[in-house]
């Protein structure tokens, strides 16, 4: 049986290298799901599951800031990964889309836990976490905090790095410090739920509560991916576009350098790819599918 499994997986690796969408979409069942988090928030997502798969592995996919499960990278990648033979649950986080933000970064773990629990309930094993953009910070934090033994590996695309440092790069040290200082003062005065109009540069303007902003960028934030990745021992794949101007590609190297010496971190950089990998979907898909198949073949 072990030889047969290895042979099938090797064949799939060859097949995926030629065409990651080689399995017809007709072989994949699609289902809308509603999840309840431990703190009683209702989330929605889409579950794709191959009717005939060579393994029971699943992937939980987490979008980035102001994202959702059906646009940007999430518009094509969940379907491709399902076509490769993996169950895929693409989730809308509680702060999805461009709406006023009041949740705390720490609450992301409840959303991801609900999705992992659902995949586990459906018999998916092992389970991989995928995060795009700020979703990379979310999945790293989840695994650092929970040490969830069901997680076999983590995929990160377009990671922005430390969120306060990102704001310093976009707006300068003085502006970033001033905005954070205002939020810290409001929180310190018991006004953490007051709204602040926040300029996010290329992402536009939106409303944050002071509590939300401090949870993302404050001195005690748990969102720092460089600190979190150092506490993870699972295999990690990082894919970054060399033409990404929203999240700089050198962040991928910084994450690899921050990881523990025992952690297997693979970094792939795609020439000409922007933050959404527009025009480079095929190379991104190939890279992720090959890595996933190698992980389940171990």
pLDDT in tens, 181-199: 999 999 999 999 999 999 9
- Specify the 3-state DSSP secondary structure of 241: strand
Mean pLDDT over each residue of the chain, to the nearest integer: 92
- In the structure, what pLDDT confidence band is assigned to residue 298 with cuts at 50, 70 and 90? confident
46 pLDDT above the threshold of 50: yes
4 pLDDT above the threshold of 60: no
- Specify the 3-state DSSP secondary structure of 208: strand
Rounded to a whole number of angstroms, the CA Rg of the chain reads: 19
For residue 63, give every residue at least 6 positions away whose Cβ sits within 8 Å of its Cβ, in sequence order, or none: 69, 72, 73, 74, 90, 91, 92, 93, 96, 132, 133, 135
Q: What is the mean pLDDT of residues 170-190?
A: 98
Q: Where in the chain is the domain with CATH 3.40.50.1820?
A: 2-162+223-297
* Interval 91-138: pLDDT, tens: 999 999 989 999 999 999 999 999 999 999 999 999 999 999 999 999
- Specify the 3-state DSSP secondary structure of 130: strand
Contact of 279 with 243, CB cutoff 8 Å: no
Q: What are phi and psi of 140, to 5 degrees?
A: -65, -40
Q: How far apart, in whole angstroms, are the C-alpha atoms of residue 229 and residue 238?
A: 12
For residue 16, give every residue at least 6 positions away whose Cβ sits within 8 Å of its Cβ, in sequence order, or none: 22, 84, 286, 289, 290, 293
168 pLDDT above the threshold of 80: yes
Q: What is the mean pLDDT of residues 167-174?
A: 96
Q: How far apart, in whole angstroms, are the C-alpha atoms of residue 224 and residue 264?
A: 20
**Beta bridge mates, 128:** 59, 153
Of 244, 240, 242, the C-alpha closest to 271 is: 242
% of the chain exceeding 90 in pLDDT: 86
- Per-residue confidence (pLDDT) for residue 69, from 0 to 100: 96
- Per-residue confidence (pLDDT) for residue 12, from 0 to 100: 41
% of the chain exceeding 70 in pLDDT: 91
Q: What is the mean pLDDT of residues 37-53?
A: 93
- Per-residue confidence (pLDDT) for residue 54, from 0 to 100: 73
- Per-residue confidence (pLDDT) for residue 86, from 0 to 100: 96
**Beta bridge mates, 44:** 34
Q: What is the mean pLDDT of residues 75-98?
A: 96
- Per-residue confidence (pLDDT) for residue 27, from 0 to 100: 85
Q: What is the signed CA dihedral for 229, 235, 111, 240, rounded to 10 degrees? A: 70
What's the angle, vertex CA 75, arms to CA 74 and CA 77, rounded to 5?
60
- Per-residue confidence (pLDDT) for residue 157, from 0 to 100: 98
Q: What is the mean pLDDT of residues 135-149?
A: 98
- Per-residue confidence (pLDDT) for residue 26, from 0 to 100: 67
Number of H helices, E strands in the chain: 10, 10
- Pairing mode, if any, of strands 28-36 and 127-132? unpaired
- Per-residue confidence (pLDDT) for residue 3, from 0 to 100: 42
* Interval 207-257: pLDDT, tens: 999 999 999 999 999 999 999 999 999 999 999 999 999 999 999 999 999
Tell me the CATH class for 2-162+223-297. alpha beta
Q: How far apart, in whole angstroms, are the C-alpha atoms of residue 254 and residue 148?
A: 24
Q: Higher-confidence residue: 18 or 250? A: 250
179 pLDDT above the threshold of 50: yes
Q: How far apart, in whole angstroms, are the C-alpha atoms of residue 31 and residue 34?
A: 10
- Per-residue confidence (pLDDT) for residue 19, from 0 to 100: 43
- Per-residue confidence (pLDDT) for residue 6, from 0 to 100: 42
Q: Higher-confidence residue: 20 or 158? A: 158
- Per-residue confidence (pLDDT) for residue 78, from 0 to 100: 97
- In the structure, what pLDDT confidence band is assigned to residue 55 with cuts at 50, 70 and 90? confident
């Amino acid at each position: 049986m072990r030889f047969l499994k290895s042979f099938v997986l090797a064949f799939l690796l060859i097949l995926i290298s030629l065409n990651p969408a080689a399995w017809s979409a007709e072989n994949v069942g699609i289902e809308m799901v509603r999840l309840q988090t431990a703190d009683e928030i209702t989330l929605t997502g889409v579950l794709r599951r191959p009717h005939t798969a060579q393994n029971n592995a699943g992937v939980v996919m987490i979008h980035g800031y102001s994202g959702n499960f059906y646009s940007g990278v999430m518009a094509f990648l969940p379907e491709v990964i399902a076509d490769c033979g993996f169950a895929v649950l693409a989730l809308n986080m509680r702060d999805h889309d461009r709406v006023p933000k009041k949740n705390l970064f720490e609450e992301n773990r409840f959303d991801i836990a609900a999705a992992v629990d659902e995949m586990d309930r459906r018999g998916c094993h092992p389970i991989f976490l995928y995060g795009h953009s700020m979703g990379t910070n979310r999945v790293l934090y989840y695994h650092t905090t929970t040490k969830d033994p069901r997680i076999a590996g983590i995929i990160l695309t377009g990671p922005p790095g430390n969120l306060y440092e990102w704001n310093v790069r976009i707006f300068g040290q003085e502006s970033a410090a001033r905005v954070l200082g205002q939020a810290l003062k409001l929180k310190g005065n018991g006004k953490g739920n007051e709204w602040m109009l926040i300029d996010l540069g290329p992402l536009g303007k939106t409303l944050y509560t002071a509590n939300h902003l401090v949870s993302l960028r404050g001195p005690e934030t748990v969102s720092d991916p460089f600190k979190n990745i150092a506490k993870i021992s699972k295999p990690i794949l990082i894919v970054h576009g060399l033409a990404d101007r929203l999240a700089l590609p050198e962040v991928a190297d910084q994450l690899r350098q921050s990881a523990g010496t025992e952690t297997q971190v693979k970094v792939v950089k795609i020439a000409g790819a922007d933050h959404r990998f527009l025009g480079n979907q095929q190379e991104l898909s190939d890279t992720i599918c090959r890595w996933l198949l190698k992980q389940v073949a171990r």
